[in-house]
Each structure stands twice: as structure tokens, then as C-alpha cells.
Structure 1
């Protein structure tokens, strides 16, 4: 049993995602940067919104929640730890909790780091990671520290490699340019950067991405790789210290 997933561009570089269970007719949206594009996508497909799943409190992920809640009487789901700065929640969840979209069950992961209380929704074959693990990148550490984000990324890295990663923004080209400075000898990365450029030139999104591809090319996940540590002048450093240095370099790139 699987979900039909639609990628919905919002604002200038955000993504929302529609998850549709054909058996029950239930449809969820992960994050609501803006109500308009999501409403249009629902109408185009003849779907009725049943659930709104929120990953974190930043305005460009929740601005349209109340508008869609009022229109569709949708259930709003978000992190209990973040409830004080989210729209009112109908279901407050924490790591390990199960969220159902119709007949399909997903699991909640705490992926704090970009913000504290950031969560990911992991359904069979698909993880909605927003601004934690991103295509060729990870979110800036606005609230958490490097050990917190590294622990979160490590949870996501342990998912099945065939998992599709649905992240929150179209940042992949810029992330790729930075990644090449950290991992210049990585032929898989070079090929991916070229593929990203072709996709963007054609107006196509670069998400979702396979976790296996992120493990092979994303510099933040490759903090474990000896060749990356060597290239940073950090041979023998811990994974988390290497990650922290990569994040520091990205922040000033």
C-alpha cells in the first residue's frame, strides 16, 4: 500500500507535498507555505484535503495552514515540542508516534537542529524532511547545535537507501556548488551537479532525491568519509566535528 505524492512549488523556492491514499480518498499536505498553489493542485486532481502535517514553525512552512484548515476542516498535526509556536494542533506528536493518512501509516522522527522541535514524517519509501536533510545539503542551525543536527541526520541516513527524500526548498544548485568545494574528487557529485543544472534549466524540481544519492554526494552526510576529512585537513577528527566544520564553511560560502 503506497501513497500518490505530488510536489507543489510554493513562494519563490519552497515545496509542499500532497500525499493521497487512493483506497480511502484521504489526502494530506506536508507544510503549507502558501494556500493558493495547494488549493489549485487539490482542485486539479479532485482531491479533498483531510490532513495538514507541519514539520516546523518557520513562517514559510505554515503561512497557509489556517486558510486551508478553515476551507477543508482538515486535521492539523505537528510536534508537541513546537506546539507553542505552531497553529493550534489537533494532534500533537513526538518521535516514534504514528501518523495515518487514510490507510497508510507513517512514523514521526525528531530531526531537531535547524529548529528545535523540527520533525520529519517517514512513510513507506518516502521521508518528508523539510529543512533538516535537504537535497545536497542540510538546514542552517538557527536553534540547534552541530551535535543535535548530526544526530538528526544520522537517523535519516539510517533509513532504507531507496527512500525518497522530500525536502523543503529548491536549494540544490547552490548546495551543489558548495559541495564541490568540500568533495572535489567525487565523480558521483560532479555528475549530480550536472544533472541538477539540466533539471533547473528545464524548469524541473530537483526533489525528491534518493537517500542513496544523498549518502553518495551530500557533503553533510559524507562527514563520515575519510577522504572528506582528509580534504578538510581533519584526518582523524570525529564525524560530528567534521560535520560542524562543513556547516561552518557553508554558512560563509
Structure 2
């Protein structure tokens, strides 16, 4: 018997720098973190796809803003999100760390990755090698610590860093260039960071996304993934926020 084909993954740019991710297989689709409904519904309709599931990594408005409207358009679609954020995400199924479920012929593994929010989760597809990490891990960076601690974020990032290096990392924002410009200021003699920044600048100049990244690339060039302790992560997080405030 032939193996089940992997779902096709593609993305829809929305708002200023958000991405909504679509998993597509055999006429069905799941979407991850729909910030808005209109562009997502239009894209699914254009491809003749039936929405069967919405995956939510955390409760922030720019990740769940389109969920209610998409449910009205596709009332049979499941909404799967962190169980501990059920009071803030309109969901039909709450999931917890280590839970697995089937979606479009794939097994999806739930990973708890608190730090950005207390209940933040990521969705990992081990067979096809996709990771949907919301605002925990970014290209060259990590999310702000709005609700969690440096200890939580450090543990979460180390957990993601332990995934296979070829794992494709679908980050929810196009922050890679800014993150790497900061990193190049932080470690000006780091050749790997400089080379990745040059490649990213070329992509963005051509109007192309920098997502997906890979776990291997992040291990090599993401300063937050390279930290050895929560205190080092906290120092870098403060440095990044100062840099951002000075560059805007």
C-alpha cells in the first residue's frame, strides 16, 4: 500500500507581518492561528478546500481574531487550542502537553512551550517534519515574555531545539530580518549570523518570505536558542527590546 501523501503547507500573509498557515490534503484544510477571516476564507474558497480544523497556539488577538468568523462559515470545523486558555480562545477541543491527534492523515504532537503566554503550545508533525510554533520561536528570535518567565522560555526553546534539524519552522510573524540585524550588532564577529542576515536581506528585497526556517538554521544563528541559561536569555531579551525601541 502506498504511503499517505503528506499535507501541503502554505501561508497567507495578513495584517502587517502575520502569517496564517494552511495545511491542505485531498480537498480538506486546516489553518493555524487565523488572525483575520476574510483573506483566509477567500484563499480556501479559491482552492476549493473544506475547512475541517483551526489550530490555535495561544490567545492573542492577532492569532485568534478570525476564528469565530471562520467557524460561522464552516460550523463543522474543530477549533483545537491550549486547554488552559479555553476561557480566552473559542475552542471545541482543549489539548495539553504530550497529547497527540490525527489531522489530514498526519499525527500531530502537542508541545507546551510557555513563555510568551502561560499556556502557549506548538504543533509538531513528526512524520512530515513541520513545526507550527506561534510566537514562541521566530526566525533569529523569540517572543516577548508577556506572561511567562525567562526560565519557562529557555526551557521551551531548548525543547524545540531538540527537534530534528531538518524540521521546518513555521513562525507566525515576519521578524527574521530585524532579529538578525539585532543579532549582528550583538555578535558582530559571528560569521553564521552575518551570512544568514545577508541571505535574508536579499529575500526581503525580492519581496519573498523568510519562513519557513529550519531547526538546524535556528540552532546555528538564533542567539536565544544558543543560550546556556535563563539569565542569559533574559539579558538578550532586554537587549533586543532596547535595540527595537532605538531603531523605531
| TM-score, scaled relative to structure 2 | 0.92
C-alpha contact 1:27 1:101 (8 A) present in aligned 2: no
C-alpha contact 2:101 2:109 (8 A) present in aligned 1: yes
Alignment of 1:11-26 (within 5 A): 11-22=15-26, 25-26=27-28
1:136 aligns to 2:140 (yes or no): yes
C-alpha contact 2:115 2:150 (8 A) present in aligned 1: yes
Q: In 1, Cα distance between the equivalents of 2:143 and 2:20?
A: 16
Quote the residue 1:80 is aligned against: 83
- Give the drift of 1:47: 1.2
C-alpha contact 2:18 2:172 (8 A) present in aligned 1: yes
Aligned residues: CA RMSD: 1.1
Quote the residue 1:236 is aligned against: none
Deviations 1:51-87 (A, max 9, x none): 0000100000011001101101211111111111111
Alignment of 1:27-106 (within 5 A): 27-73=29-75, 74-87=77-90, 89-106=91-108
Q: In 1, Cα distance between the equivalents of 2:53 and 2:69?
A: 13
Match of 1:114 among 105, 113, 116: 116
- Give the drift of 1:43: 1.9
C-alpha contact 1:182 1:219 (8 A) present in aligned 2: no
Quote the residue 2:179 is aligned against: 175
Alignment of 1:101-250 (within 5 A): 101-124=103-126, 125-224=129-228, 239-250=229-240
Match of 1:9 among 6, 13, 35: 13
What are structure 1's unaligned runs of at least 5 residues?
A: 225-238
Deviations 1:148-171 (A, max 9, x none): 100111110010110001011011
C-alpha contact 2:192 2:220 (8 A) present in aligned 1: yes
Q: In 2, Cα distance between the equivalents of 1:3 and 1:187?
A: 35
C-alpha contact 2:7 2:104 (8 A) present in aligned 1: no
Secondary structure in structure 2 of the residue aligned to 1:252: helix
Quote the residue 2:246 is aligned against: none
What are structure 2's unaligned runs of at least 5 residues?
A: 244-248
C-alpha contact 1:35 1:68 (8 A) present in aligned 2: yes
- Give the drift of 1:182: 2.3
Moved over 2 A (4+): none
